[in-house]
Chain A
Amino acid sequence: MVFEPKIVGFLCNWCSYAGADLAGTSRMVYAPNVRPIRVMCSGRVDPTFVIKAFLEGADGVLIAGCHPPSDCHYQEGNLKTMRRIPLLKKMLKQLGVEEGRLRLEWVSASEGEKYARVVNEFTEQIKALGPLNWKVPQPKGGKH
Chain B
Amino acid sequence: MEKYKLAFYWASSCGGCEVAVLDVHENILKVIEIADIVFWPVALDFKYKDVEAMKDNSIDVCFFNGAIRMSEQEHLAHLLRKKSKIMVAFGACACHGSIPGLANFFYRHEVMNRAYLETPSTVNPDNILPQEVTKVKEGEITIPEFYDTVHTLGQTVKVDYFVPGCPPVPDQIMTLVEALIKKELPPEGSVIAGDKTLCDTCERLREEKIVPQFKRIVHTIPNNEKCFLEEGVICCGPATRSGCGNRCINANQPCRGCFGPAPEIHDQGAKLLSAIASISAINEEERVGEFVNSIPDPAGYFYRFTLPYSMLKRKLLREEKK
Given the complex, which residues of B lie within 8 Å of A135, measured CB to CB?
317
A87–B270 CA distance with the chains assembled, in angstroms:
10
Q: Is A2 an interface residue (CB 8 A)?
A: no
Stretch at the interface among B111-119, B184-192, B291-299: B291-299
**Residues of B256-305 whose CB lies within 8 A of A:** 266-267, 269-271, 273-274, 276-278, 280, 282-285, 288-289, 291-292, 295, 297-300, 302
A84–B272 CA distance with the chains assembled, in angstroms:
11
A119–B229 CA distance with the chains assembled, in angstroms:
38
Contact with A along B64-100 (1 / 0, CB 8 A): 0000100110110110000000000000000000000
Q: Report how many residues on chain B are interfacial, defined by Cβ distance under 8 Å.
A: 49
Given the complex, which residues of B lie within 8 Å of A27, measured CB to CB?
none
Given the complex, which residues of B lie within 8 Å of A88, measured CB to CB?
270, 273
Question: Nearest residue in A to B76 (C-beta to C-beta)?
Answer: A142
Query: Given A94-B315, A137-B148, is A47 in contact with B74 using a C-beta cutoff of 8 Å?
Result: no
Query: Given A47-B273, A83-B288, A142-B74, is A95 in contact with B315 using a C-beta cutoff of 8 Å?
Result: yes
Q: Is A121 an interface residue (CB 8 A)?
A: no
How many A-B Cβ pairs are below 8 Å?
114
How far is the CB of A61 from the nearest CB of chain B, in Å? 13
A68–B283 CA distance with the chains assembled, in angstroms:
9
Given the complex, which residues of B lie within 8 Å of A144, measured CB to CB?
71-72, 74-75, 144-145
Chain A interface size band reads: 35 or more
Stretch at the interface among B37-45, B175-183, B306-314: B306-314
Interchain CB contact under 8 A, B317 and A137:
yes
Question: Nearest residue in A to B142 (C-beta to C-beta)?
Answer: A144
Interchain CB contact under 8 A, A139 and B151:
yes
Query: Given A94-B297, A94-B298, A94-B299, is A82 in contact with B313 using a C-beta cutoff of 8 Å?
Result: no
Query: Given A94-B300, A144-B75, is A87 in contact with B273 using a C-beta cutoff of 8 Å?
Result: yes
Which residues of chain A have a CB within 8 Å of any CB of chain B? Answer: 46-48, 51-52, 54-55, 68-69, 76, 79-80, 82-84, 86-88, 90-91, 94-97, 132, 134-142, 144
